[in-house]
A and B are shown apart, each in its own frame.
Chain A
Amino acid sequence: FFYLVRVGHPINYYLQFVTRFYIHFTAEQVVYMAIVGSFPFNSFLSGVLSCVGTAVLAVCLRIQVNKENKEFKDLPPERAFADFVLCNMVLHLVIMNFLG
């Protein structure tokens, strides 16, 4: 399955897994909503947003950590990871609140 594509650094493997899996998960939730109806719309939004958000944050982390990336050459990877963790905290706080 295409989550398991290996691209160089083992970290990328995990990150790709995360990204692809969660985008698939989002698509599944949208299909479920189309079937059942958008009754607790807030719950639907929070579920979708959690998947999309974590995927986006994983992509950001991957970009920032990748040494071949010219833009983030001077950025220490610890800093990137700290940003990643912080943003995830905020994201999950919002999601828990919005889940109802």
Chain B
Amino acid sequence: MSNHLSIIFLILILLPFLTQSFSPKKVLILLDDFSLKSSHSLYFTSLKNRNYHLDFHLATDSNLKLSQHGEYLYDGLILFSPTVQKFGGSLDLNSVLGFVDSGRNLILAVDESASDLVKEIATECGVDFDEDSGAVVIDHGSFADGDHMLIASDDFIDSDVILGKEKIEAPVLFKGIGHALNPVNSQVLKVLSASPWAYSANPESKLSSPPSLTGSRISLVSVVQTTLSRVAKASETLCLVLPDNIGFRRIKAIALFSPDDFKILQARNNARILISGSLDLFSNRLFKSGVQKAGSSTNEELMGKPTFDDRYLRSGNEQFTTELSRWVFNERGHLKAVNVRHNKVGETVEPSMYRITDDLEYSVEIYEWSGTSWEPYVSDDVQIQFYMMSPYVLKTLATDKKGLYYTSFKVPDVYGVFQFKVEYHKLGYTSLSLAKQIPVRPFRHNEYERFLTAAFPYYGASFSTMAGFFVFSIIYLYNK
């Protein structure tokens, strides 16, 4: 009897581990007050349904901590606390930025009452909110429900990875502040931009000068995707270069690692950050409300397009935020490249050096995370460069649709130290920057052809002198 009990007990203990194929991701959600839990309940339940373990806390909770004993407790952070001046517990600006640097994801939503702390987090990520703290985005052309500050926008970024395969039909309702992107930063993308006749200004005060942030330059929702590059030399030491253009951050130093540390370096970065100028974007109210863009028909008439009644029963907010959160939490478009291999055609061993005009093969495996498992990534635009100061060979890799990308080419007639470079930066996908160094040597003196065509006259001259000497000596000796 006790045996049975112990077995049942054991199974009950192990059951959670048996049924799950992967552990749920833990997300920390910081709120200004707990009424947000109910007013944004639809968004939170959509996250819970995708197996995220949500941890709600007040932003000023004194027990807050992101990491314990050097390990991070959460995989994602959602900041729905625009008014917080100072985080509670052990959280502050640097700890949040360190969280993001470690490759974990962040969703940040602000509104008109955004504090300096929250705006500074956004600035460090590469996004500049309007300096005027009372300014909101006003659009007299595409607003909804008579409120010129509740704007409806359907100017989405053109990417299936970020926004999902289904097109978002209804416009997205937005009420909050706008931001501009640093034009130098290539990692920040505008996901939802305002219409060309929107502007950012304080509705209470009269405009004394034209607003600085206008039109499509205003980004309502943007994402940042940080990149990592890994360089591996054939001599097996690894060199890690960290991103240097995320917002206004300082350039991080180059660190050298030994092969033992290799495991730690896998996919360290590639964090995704979502920054939204409106907290109401995620709220139940805007999810459920219908949209009819007031004034849209007159604009269409002006542009000569046919007008029709574009009244949508539900705004596109729910689909927009759900798909975006799928992308931000790495359920889509998250790539990893493993198993970089190269060898001479016909061999399987990876040589430490190639010779000019050798034939070689290169292969790499690329997988995409589907939320539950690594699926093969299928695409026809991954390219390999054989690079020394400039690419001598640039080829598109063929794929076998199971994740293996391969090609073969001839080493160019130049010797030196080359790199196999794969630079894959596709919109919405993690950036792949793989580089593997390999030296290329010229011919050894016994690898040339035996008789060179160019040297035939010299061969002829030498042999003819020999023949001449031989003939002459015969004549000389036998001449009477």
Mark A residues whose CB is within 8 Å of B: 10-11, 14, 18, 21-22, 25, 28-29, 32, 36-37, 39-40, 43-44, 46-48, 50-51, 53-54, 58, 81, 84-85, 88, 92, 95-96, 99-100
**B451: nearest residue on chain A (CB-CB)?**
A100
Q: Answer yes or no: B146 CB below 8 A from chain A CBs.
A: no
**A46, B462: Cβ atoms under 8 Å?**
yes
Q: Is the beta-carbon distance between A50 and B466 smaller than 8 angstroms?
A: yes
Distance of A37 Cα from B465 Cα, bound (Å) = 23
A15 CB → nearest B CB, Å: 8
Across-interface contacts of B458 in A (CB, < 8 A): 29, 40, 43-44, 46-48, 99
**8 additional contacts (CB under 8 A) given A18-B472, A46-B462, A92-B469:** A22-B465, A39-B454, A39-B455, A40-B455, A43-B455, A54-B468, A95-B462, A99-B459
6 contacts between A and B (CB under 8 A): A10-B479, A40-B454, A47-B457, A54-B469, A88-B469, A95-B465
Q: Is B473 an interface residue, CB under 8 A from the partner?
A: yes
B475 touches A14 (CB 8 A): yes
Let me know if B472 and A14 touch, CB within 8 A.
Answer: yes
The answer on a CB contact under 8 Å between A18 and B461 is: no
User: In the complex, which residues of chain A have a beta carbon less than 8 angstroms from the beta carbon of B461?
Assistant: 25, 29, 47-48, 50-51
For B473, the chain A residues whose CB sits under 8 A away are 81, 84-85
Complex: A84 Cα to B241 Cα, angstroms: 71
Query: How many angstroms from the CA of A40 to the CA of B468 in the assembled complex?
Result: 24
Count the B residues whose beta carbon is within 8 Å of the partner chain — how many?
A: 20
Please measure, in the bound complex, the distance between the C-alpha atom of A42 and the C-alpha atom of B465, giving whole angstroms: 17
Inter-chain CA distance A58–B473, complex, in Å, is: 10
Say what secondary structure dominates the interface of chain B: helix
Q: State whether B476 touches A14 (Cβ < 8 A).
A: yes
How distant is A49 from chain B, measured CB to nearest CB, in Å? Answer: 9
The reply to whether A81 and B469 form a contact with Cβ atoms under 8 Å apart is: no
Distance from B9 Cβ to chain A, minimum over Cβ atoms (Å): 84
Residues of A within 8 A of B477 (CB): 81
Of the candidates A11, A29, A58, the one whose C-beta lies within 8 Å of that of B479 is: A11
Assembled-state Cα–Cα distance A95/B87 (Å)? 87
The answer to whether A36 touches B454, judged by C-beta atoms less than 8 angstroms apart, is: yes
Q: Which residue of B lies closest to A55 (CB)?
A: B465
1/0 contact string of B397-410 vs chain A (CB within 8 Å): 00000000000000
Q: Which residues of B contact A51 (CB under 8 A)?
A: 461, 465
Q: Give which listed residue, B455, B476, B479, contacts A100 with CB less than 8 A.
A: B455
Residues on A with beta carbons closer than 8 Å to the beta carbon of B479: 10-11
A32 in contact with B457 (CB, 8 Å): yes
Task: Given A11-B479, A95-B462, A96-B462, verify A29-B457 contact (CB < 8 Å).
Answer: yes
Contacts of A81 in B (CB 8 A): 473, 476-477
In the assembled complex, how far is the CB of residue A45 from the closest CB belonging to chain B, in whole angstroms? 8
Q: Which of B67-99 contact A (CB under 8 A)?
A: none
- Do the beta carbons of A47 and B462 come within 8 Å of each other? yes
Give every chain B residue within 8 A of A11 (Cβ-Cβ).
476, 479
Q: Which A-chain residue is minimally distant from B445 (CB atoms)?
A: A100
Q: Is the CB of A50 within 8 A of B452?
A: no
Complex interface: chain A residues within 8 A of B462 (CB): 46-47, 50, 92, 95-96, 99
Asked if A47 and B472 sit within 8 Å, CB to CB, the answer is no
Question: Which residues 200-256 in B have Cβ within 8 Å of A in the complex?
Answer: none
Max chain B Cβ within 10 angstroms of own Cβ: one of A14, A81, A100 = A100
Contact A47 B476 (CB under 8 A): no
Q: Which residues of B contact A92 (CB under 8 A)?
A: 462, 465-466, 469
Q: Report the minimum CB–CB distance from B227 to chain A (whole Å).
A: 46
B428-467 interface (Cβ within 8 A of A):
452, 454-455, 457-462, 464-466
Complex CA–CA separation, A32 to B459 (angstroms): 13
- Interchain CA distance A47-B463 in the complex, whole Å: 9
Let me know if B452 and A43 touch, CB within 8 A. Answer: yes
A51 to B465, CA, bound (A): 6
Q: With both chains docked as a complex, state the minimum distance between the C-beta of A87 and any C-beta of chain B, in angstroms.
A: 10
**A29: B residues at CB distance < 8 A:** 457-458, 461
